[in-house]
Structure 1
Amino acid sequence: MAIVLIGTLDTKAEEIAFARDVLEASGTAVHVVDTGILDEPGFEPDTTASEVATGADTSLGAVRNNADRGTAIEVMADGAATVATQLHEEGVLDGVLGLGGSGNTSIATTAMRALPVGVPKVMVSTMASGDTEPYVGATDIAMINSVVDVEGLNQLSRQVITNAAMAVVGMATADPAVEVDTGPTIGITMFGVTTPCVQAARTALEDEGYETIVFHATGTGGQAMESLVREGVIDGVLDVTTTELADELVGGVLSAGSARLDAAGEAAIPQVVSLGALDIVNFGPRESVPEEFENRQLHSHNPQVTLMRTTPVENKRLGKLIADKLNAATGPTTLAVPRGGLSLLDVPGESFHNPAADQALVRSLKEHLNDDVELIESETDINDEAFAQRLVKALMAAMRD
């Protein structure tokens, strides 16, 4: 077993050496990757900074000659990702440990995000008590607050580094000795306002022997599912909640990026897609809603989340966007349309009930959808149990075929 240790040996050699010694004292082999560019390393690494730069298709000299620190960090991050991926493919990476401030946190976590979910990843960082989304993304990185700056060794830094080193060793060596028999794995997307549908579908799928993985459609959730489809972890997709596409189109805060809804089609795995929460665009606290949307229909979900109703014009654009993505799919694809409402808020008596907006979405979808995509329509709303059962029936038929 080997742990890859990523750090800047020109400025943090003492701290990296201590982490290496802790790992080796536990009987663990260590592969040190140097990402420092300012000076020569404090000790000889296993992968040099020059080799890291080469992994980004450049040279260490070129990186040093570039006066822009941000560009240098991006280059070394790309190189570190290449190195980590190669070490993992060669079978000499069982876990990753990184130490540093904002610079090496960016570099090391880029390398960690390039690795599959399940590979142990621990980052000791001065940035761990703030917004960690840019570092963690849609992966399973464990970030540990360094408490003190990663600058010199003292009773606090030694303890934090030791804990982190033992954590990654524990992850890499853990054997729960619990055997679990599972069938094919189904990825499902969920939002609070589509929970009843997902719960009913998940129960039905698990009763049939499928394993389900539910992703919260908050941007990183959709990204995680797309990534796991590409890694081959997921065998079929029940994409109940495509709301992240509305955020991407309109400018909400929970976009999963422009590649959302692409992976299953590219991988040719069965997918059943619905329109969950496309009545919603997400923002933060009420005061954070952009001024351009002040006159729109807003709903306070809680003090931290404000929802905005999509319009017929936006839904027409969403219909074409979704149809284009589904038309490009290379595997069995079904679109399930709940004509009675797209969420718990989009039913009679609730604040986002807007049949005209929903009809604009459905008309656009039907106008642009190819015959290769199976279309299922239901007069119920998305959270009706009968609709959930139709989704499950369609997906299981595609999985069997």
Structure 2
Amino acid sequence: MTKTILVIGTFDTKAEELDYLIKRIRNQGGNVVAMDVSVLGDPSQPVDVTKHEVAGAVGETIEVLIALGEEGEAFERMSAGAAVMTRRLFDEGKVDGMIALGGSMGTDLALDCAQALPIGVPKYIVSTVAGSPLIAAERMAVDVQFILWAGGLYGLNPLCRSSLSQAAGAVLGAALSVEPPRFDRPVIGMTSLGSSCLKYMKRLHPALTARGYDVAVFHTTGMGGMAFERLAAEGAFACVMDFSLQELVNVLHGSVVSAGADRLSGAGLSGTPQMVAPGASDILDLAGWQEIPARFSERPFHQHNRLIKNIAFNAEERTAIAREIVDRLAAAKGPTQYFLPRKGIEEWDKPGAPAHDAEGLSAFVAATEAAAAGRVSLTALDCHINDDTFCNAVLEQFDTWVAEGIVTSGKLS
């Protein structure tokens, strides 16, 4: 049951903190592989992977990196080497998880190392900028864990020890107890915005499970869409049902509630069969702490909770959104079916609800049908996205794709 943790950090500037973390892991029965990612200085204690080995993993030398004279560029190249070494150590069976310490520079490097590891491998980052909007969604591994490093910028102190001791227990405990994903059945990747705004997953999940599939539902509030896109691009799903697209409109209109600029592209790039609907694309998500931009000050407004608030788009904006969705789907390499519920695309756009806008919905439907003609296979439905009619149409198309061999059957022999 002994597990080995890869500990990553700059052993020239954070040796005391890293040494404390290593001792805590070892005191709990874990083993450690220490990897130094310093550039300028030398570690004050022996390490298992030297900075020279890290730089050499991508054909660099420390001397060349120092000669660059640019701290950011040098560390970016070290990040590339650290990511290569992280994956190499894992592939060779030498480590069972990773943990990295850092401020903004160390966090930048740690993000690359975490992305180098497969899903299910424990990956922890103890960071002074954990949870910060400085960290873009597309930089994060789909199952990375962050721990805010309180009082951890320089030197050990009671606050720092508290964070690091918890981190040591977290990464070792995760390595001991993790159940890596086993894909014994084909997986359907589905998106939704909770279960009150969009309700189809309550009907589709059990129906797909009964057909022999596992269903992974991603909450489209930025991080969920990031994970969904990353896995879809890697071909992790037998089929995707991407029915919640407000992360796409968020990135188009500058919201921090973003899954990255490549939203609605991953499945298309990998050729994964995809079913798409424009769920919740009529509203802009804003972080609860964000001020409402002046151009939206007179719009219908919904305060979902203290974390998220929503603003409705007008007819002109929805026309542009309709065209953008179709443009992205038209670039897909695999089978694509676009479902268009003509009577509404989320619970709050029904008559009497805060985001109801008959003119805007009509403009969206017309623009979608015009843009899709001859470019994307479109199924227009005279229903609301939360009606059973929508789910019935999706399941009918899904069963057709299974019968035609487009989607792997869930009834594996």
TM-score of the aligned structures, taking structure 2 as reference length = 0.85
What's 1:17 paired with? 19
Preserved contact between residue 327 and residue 370 of structure 1 (Cα < 8 Å): no
What's 2:251 paired with? 248
What's 1:40 paired with? 42
- Which one of 295, 298, 322 corresponds to residue 325 of structure 2? 322
Shift in Å, 1:201: 1.6
Shift in Å, 1:189: 0.8
What's 1:222 paired with? 225
Give the whole-Å Cα distance in 1 for the aligned partners of 2:326 and 2:68.
45
Amino acid at match of 1:249: L
Give the whole-Å Cα distance in 2 for the aligned partners of 1:222 and 1:276.
13
Classify 1:304/1:395 alpha carbon distance in 2 versus 1 (closer, same or farther; 3 Å).
same
Give the whole-Å Cα distance in 1 for the aligned partners of 2:144 and 2:289.
31
Listed one character per residue, the Cα deviations across residues 294-333 of structure 1 (whole Å, up to 9, x for unaligned) are 2333333334433121222222222222212222222221
Amino acid at match of 2:111: T
Shift in Å, 1:4: 1.4
Give the whole-Å Cα distance in 2 for the aligned partners of 1:21 and 1:240.
47
What's 1:378 paired with? 381
Moved more, 290-299 or 66-75: 66-75
Listed one character per residue, the Cα deviations across residues 91-146 of structure 1 (whole Å, up to 9, x for unaligned) are 43320011233432332233113323211012233444766855983532223344
Is 1:299 matched up with 2:302? yes
What is the count of residue pairs matched by the alignment? 400
What's 1:114 paired with? 116
TM-score of the aligned structures, taking structure 1 as reference length = 0.87
Moved more, 384-393 or 167-176: 167-176
* Structure 1 gap segments, 5+ residues each: none
Shift in Å, 1:7: 0.8
Amino acid at match of 1:288: E
Give the whole-Å Cα distance in 1 for the aligned partners of 2:142 and 2:352.
39
Moved more, 383-392 or 28-37: 28-37
What's 1:99 paired with? 101
Q: SS state of the match for residue 309, structure 2? A: strand
Q: SS state of the match for residue 195, structure 1? A: coil
Preserved contact between residue 282 and residue 312 of structure 2 (Cα < 8 Å): yes
Listed one character per residue, the Cα deviations across residues 26-61 of structure 1 (whole Å, up to 9, x for unaligned) are 554432221112311223333322333345665433
What's 2:366 paired with? 363
Preserved contact between residue 12 and residue 150 of structure 1 (Cα < 8 Å): no
Q: SS state of the match for residue 288, structure 1? A: coil
Preserved contact between residue 138 and residue 220 of structure 1 (Cα < 8 Å): no
Shift in Å, 1:225: 0.3
Q: SS state of the match for residue 278, structure 1? A: coil
Shift in Å, 1:151: 4.5
Q: SS state of the match for residue 349, structure 2? A: coil
Preserved contact between residue 194 and residue 343 of structure 1 (Cα < 8 Å): yes
Preserved contact between residue 189 and residue 241 of structure 1 (Cα < 8 Å): yes
Amino acid at match of 1:14: E
Is 1:188 matched up with 2:190? yes
Identity of aligned residues (%): 34
Classify 1:154/1:219 alpha carbon distance in 2 versus 1 (closer, same or farther; 3 Å).
closer
What's 2:63 paired with? 61
Preserved contact between residue 116 and residue 231 of structure 1 (Cα < 8 Å): no
Give the whole-Å Cα distance in 2 for the aligned partners of 1:340 and 1:305.
25
Superposed, which structure 2 residues align to 1:85-96 within 5 Å?
85-96=87-98
Listed one character per residue, the Cα deviations across residues 235-274 of structure 1 (whole Å, up to 9, x for unaligned) are 2111111111111222233232221111112222221100
Give the whole-Å Cα distance in 1 for the aligned partners of 2:395 and 2:117.
32
Give the whole-Å Cα distance in 2 for the aligned partners of 1:349 and 1:20.
59
Give the whole-Å Cα distance in 1 for the aligned partners of 2:113 and 2:182.
30
What's 1:31 paired with? 33
- Which one of 388, 391, 394 corresponds to residue 391 of structure 2? 388
Task: State the superposition RMSD in angstroms.
Answer: 3.1
* Structure 2 gap segments, 5+ residues each: 406-413
Superposed, which structure 2 residues align to 1:43-192 within 5 Å?
43-55=45-57, 58-128=60-130, 134=136, 137=140, 139-149=142-152, 151-152=154-155, 160-174=163-177, 183-192=185-194
Preserved contact between residue 238 and residue 395 of structure 1 (Cα < 8 Å): no
